[in-house]
Structure formats: structure tokens, C-alpha cells
Amino acid sequence: MDIIGAQLVNGVSYGLLLFIITCGLSLVFGILGVLNLAHGSLYMFGAYLAYSLTVTYTQSFWIALLVAPIVVALIALVVERTLLRPTYHLGHLSQVLLTFGLAYVFHDIAKFVWGSNVLSITVPPIFSGSTSIFGQTFPVYRLIVIIVGIAIAVMLWLIQDKTRWGAIIRAGLSDKEMIGALGVNIKLVFTVVFVIGGVLAGFGGVVAAPILGIYPSMEFQTLILALVVLVIGGLGSIAGTLVASVLVGVVETFSRFLFPELSMFLIFGLMAIVLVFKPNGLLGKKVA
């Protein structure tokens, strides 16, 4: 039983790490209707920037945690204002193709700047210890990831459901034209939401770097799992993204422990089962 409990804690930790990485993608798709396939690249930039800041410049994880998401947010701002905005009236296909192409451009930029070596950063000294749960030793940092993931989920819930901005965002999801007719600058709302998505991606890159490492094509591997989480949880649902992230994290952790050669098969099998019985995802809504 101890080993099962230990794997469960590992799975929840990994799931909430997935949530931190994926919630920005879910937010952008839910509000803007844009499937941003460059979201994994923004996550990658957050991780690489954290590496440069902690290894080359400041040696401070906390400065990296502050600066890297801001830089990634600026990249997201430029992408939204100059490239995505002209495509909003062209439909989903043009946005998918655009962001898919951007992902490869960002991939080559990262490879040119940081090279092809596998990199890593260390956790801050205050979280570098370990503790015992179910008779197993766990890094404290993984438990901190659980707390951070829950805190972000609560924060996004409060913003979406308890603030005026959240009401505008929800209304924008239901009827963009009506919100525009009421005098709300819907273009500004879109820009802010996309930038917030970038901040969350960059933040996720910094938080995940000590656990998952930094390496070429990390953005594409993460994007695949993020899309699985998005589909299982339901498009545009933060609550669904949270549930799906934990579910995928637990399934992948147990499958890697019990049937390592079938881990991806089991994850995609889970997605297929959810789609059969809940075509809109576990907690998703129909998005026009």
C-alpha cells in the first residue's frame, strides 16, 4: 500500500505540474477560440530564460521566476498584436497553421541561442530538502508544486467567477459581438487574455525546469500532453483542465510504474474513452 500511496503522490504532483503548464493554453482557447500550438514554445522560452538567469546572470531562482514570465509575456504580446490579431476573422485553421509554424520558428531560435545540450537548473535551497510520505522519500519541491498548482487553480477560479474582468471574459466567450456592442474593448480583452496565457506558460517553464529538465523539442512533447489534457478536461474549462491534469498525471505515473512501454497508449486510450462518453470533455462547454 505504501508504494501505491507514493505513486499517487507522485501522480498528483506531476498532474498539477501539467496544470500549471496547460492552464494558459486552456484559458486562451476558451476565451479567444485560438488553439495556440506555440504555447509549448512559450513554456520552453520560460525554461531556457530561467536557465540563463540562474546559471549565467543572477544565480537566483526567484529572480528567474519573476523575470522569465514577464519576458515570455512580452513575446506573447508581440505575437498577438502583430500576427494573431489579423487572423481572428479567418477561422481556426489559419490560426492553427500560424501558431504551428511559429512553434518551429521558436524551436530554431532556441536551438541557435541555447544549443542542443540537455540543461537543468537547481531548486532554491529552501526547497532542496526531502520529506517522508507513505514510507517513501519525496523532494520538498514536488510538494511545493502541488501547493502552487492548487493556488493557481483557486486564483483563476476567483478571477473568472468573482471579478468584473471574469464576467467580461465569460460573456466574451458566449457572445463576442454583444460584449463589443456594450462598449467593452474586446480587442484589449483578447490581448490581455493572451498575455496572461503567456505569463502562465513562462511561469510553468520556470517551475517545471528543475523537475523535467530543459532540452530540444521539450515544447512539442509538452504540447502533446497539454492537448490531451485540454480535450479530456473540456475546451475552455479551467476546472476541467485541473481535473484532467491530475487524472493524466496519475494515469501516466502509474502506467510508467506498472507498464512503462504502454504509458502513452493508456493516456491516449483514456482520452478516447472520455471522447466517446463525454464528447465535450469532462467539464467542457460547447464553444461556437
Domains of the chain: residue spans and CATH: 1-277 (1.10.3470)
For cell 512559450, what's the residue? Answer: 42
Residue 214 backbone phi and psi in degrees, to 5: -130, 125
The pLDDT assigned to 173 comes to 63
Question: Would you tell me how many other CB atoms lie within 10 Å of the CB of residue 276?
Answer: 8
pLDDT of residue 53: 92
User: Could you tell me the three cell numbers for 87?
Assistant: 487572423
Which residues of the chain carry a pLDDT beneath 70? 1-2, 169-170, 172-177, 179-180, 236, 285-288
- Distance separating alpha carbons of residues 101 and 79, to the nearest angstrom: 12
Nearest to 119 by CA among 194, 35, 54: 54
What is the distance in angstroms between the CA of the first residue and the CA of the last residue of the chain?
A: 46
d(CA 129, CA 137): 10
C-alpha dist (Å) from residue 278 to 8, 24, 27: 25, 23, 20
Copy the grid coordinates of residue 260: 512503462
Q: Are 154 and 148 in contact (CB under 8 A)?
A: no
pLDDT given for residue 175 in this prediction: 67
pLDDT at 188: 84
Q: Give residue-wise pLDDT tens across range 54-88.
A: 988 778 899 999 999 999 999 999 999 999 888 87
User: What is the amino acid identity at position 237?
Assistant: S
Grid coordinates given for 41: 514554445
Give pLDDT, residue 176: 67
Residue 1: the pLDDT is 62
Asked if 246 contacts 203 with a C-beta cutoff of 8 angstroms, the reply is no
d(CA 141, CA 138): 8
Q: Scanning the structure block, which residue is given the C-alpha cell 464528447?
A: 279
Those residues with Cβ within 8 angstroms of residue 121's Cβ, 6 or more apart along the chain or in another chain: 50, 51, 54, 55, 61, 64, 209, 210, 214
